[in-house]
Amino acid sequence: MAISPKPLRGTRPTKKKALLIGIGYQDSAAQIKLDMPHEDVMRLRDFLIKAYGYRKENVTVMLDKPGELQPTQKNIRQQAANLVAGAAPGDHFFFYYAGHSVQIPEDCRPEERTELDGMDEAMVPSDGHTADHATTRESCLVDNELKRLLVNPLPAEASLMAVLDTCHSASLLDLDHNACNAKWSCLNTIQLKNIITVSVHNRDAPQSRPTPTHTTNKPDPRSSLSRKPELSAEAAASLNPCRMPLVISLAACKDDQINLENSGDINGRSFTERLLNILSDDPHPRLRDLMKKISISIHGMLLDAINVKEIERRQAAHDALVRKSTQAPSSVRCRDSLVGCADLRCQDPQMSSDIELNMESHLETL
């Protein structure tokens, strides 16, 4: 993220590696099935190679489909450890997850809690179980463990970027700054509708891609902001001379929110698809503009989903009267195995980090 790996004198060339995980749960009897993770992983892989210069052999893909590396709990642990094994200063790592995540109470004494809400976030692997808190913690990957696997091994001046297309994901890597980086939020339903009406939905336009409220300037290669991340003055002043690793996650929603997948939305069927639509126009946006664009776009998808469900509800009622049939399954799904989609709430993408970011700096690479 926003860092350009350069070899340090006397060291090996820096490397870029990625781990992409997509779980659709098609063979799971316990989890809600998802349509988009497999497709999102493959599209993201191609985009990393084309737009950000990743080598194909350095991108590991895990999918729950025959012939692929299976995203079981054991395999994810192993591949996460492999991703950052031997990390050196200047190395850049990318972690992506699309699938289900859940919240479970922290398993510790009250005085030892690290979560403000007392809840841990947990990734649900292809063999994960969420029948109760005990089985969830035992069979899933909890945020504390993900941090130990992906973040703690990083040396100074290495970097990790994570994109988390899943529910309850703001603090899924347990980063310290998951609330202080500038956000663009929908404060209430009225504001959300106003934003979408004015800024996003232009159904008469030839392209269906959401339009942001203002145009993002392309990074100027002469600018010091265009090719490396900058910390806020307060954060920079608090650091000792030893550099730290840079860790940033871009999450689909807050910890208490669900993440929407709408396979019938022509404007973008998932958080990942909408993110890639934005980055295809400008792979190096300012962080603040990126957050504003993806937030407005996701709010549009939320309204699209509500509209889809309303249409389906009316159609089902009509069919029931005419043919006494039942309603067809909806194409709108949540990436959450425990929360249904009937109560769609606001969904606010989040950017978390180990150090407070200067949101005026530019994204250099995923």
Q: Which residue has the tokens 């934003």?
A: 195
Whether 94 has a pLDDT exceeding 80, the answer reads yes
pTM: 0.77
User: Taking a C-beta distance cutoff of 8 angstroms, is the pair 36, 272 a contact?
Assistant: yes
Q: Express each pLDDT in 293-303 by its tens digit.
A: 999 888 877 77
Burial category of 165 from C-beta neighbours within 10 Å (exposed 0-12, middle 13-18, buried 19 and up): buried
Q: Closest Cα partner for 165 from 346, 26, 38?
A: 38
Task: Look at residue 192 and tell me whether its pLDDT is greater than 60.
Answer: no
Mean pLDDT, rounded, for 225-252: 60
pLDDT at 319: 57
pLDDT band at 131 (very low <50, low <70, confident <90, very high): confident
Res. 113 pLDDT band, cuts 50 70 90: low
Predicted pLDDT at 313: 59
Q: Is the pLDDT of residue 310 over 60?
A: no
Closest C-alpha among 278, 270, 276 to residue 252: 270
What local confidence, expressed as pLDDT, does residue 218 receive?
38
Q: Is residue 330 predicted with pLDDT exceeding 50? A: no
pLDDT greater at residue 229 or residue 135 = 135
- The single residue listed with the structure tokens 């106003």 is 194
Tell me: pLDDT of 283 over 60: yes
- Position 36 scores a pLDDT of 95
Query: Cα dihedral sign for 22, 24, 28, 29?
Result: positive
Q: Judge contact between 52 and 366, C-beta under 8 A.
A: yes
| Residue whose tokens read 């492999």 | 82
| 220 vs 308, residue with greater confidence | 308
| CA 81-83-84 angle, 5° bins | 75
Indicate if the alpha-carbon torsion angle 253, 256, 261, 262 is positive or negative.
negative
**Percent of residues, the chain, with pLDDT higher than 90:** 48
How sure is the predictor about 182, in pLDDT bands with cuts at 50, 70 and 90? low
Burial, 237: exposed, middle or buried (Cβ in 10 Å; 0-12, 13-18, 19+)?
Answer: exposed
Instruction: For domain 16-353, say whether CATH 3.40.50.1460 is its number.
Output: yes
38 pLDDT higher than 60: yes
- Compute the distance between CA of residue 274 and CA of residue 209 in angstroms, rounded to an integer: 8
Kindly state the average pLDDT of the residues 313-322.
Answer: 55
> 359 by DSSP, 3-state: which?
coil
Question: Could you tell me which of 236, 298, 275 has the C-alpha nearest to residue 363?
Answer: 275
